[in-house]
Amino acid sequence: QEREQFGKPIADFQGVQFMLADMAMQIEAARQLVYHAAAVSERGESSATYFGAAAKCFASDVAMKVTTDCVQIFGGYGYVKDYPVERFMRDAKITQIYEGTNQIQRIVIARALMNGTSGASK
């Protein structure tokens, strides 16, 4: 709400508002998938591997996309170490790598789908 372009706050631009809305929806979808994966795991269901991989992969992809969009919204300030957005983006990237890269998580997901242990809606 502080950053301005063409004499008005960038938050007033429809394109930025759409980005913010998309980010909020993606974060909530990721949160719900993580909660579901945790519940499935807690119950010891056979689909825990599938949902764990899906949650890790989706949530880390969302984290990377959302933080990249935040850097874009912040403009040049998004790359300055004085603002936390730059660190958030670096932190988001590592979530796609550790505990099995997202490519590996996608293999786990695909195998669960093929062998019928995904528990995913048909």
Torsion over CA: 68, 72, 73, 75 (sign): positive
> In one letter, which amino acid is 74?
F
Active-site hit among 2, 42, 86, 99: 99
Residue 118: phi, psi to the nearest 5? -75, -35
CB 95 within 8 A of CB 110: no
Q: State yes or no: is 45 an active-site residue.
A: no
Rounded Cα gap, residues 85 and 71, in angstroms? 6
Structural element, H or E, at residue 36 = helix 14-43
| Residues catalogued as catalytic | 99
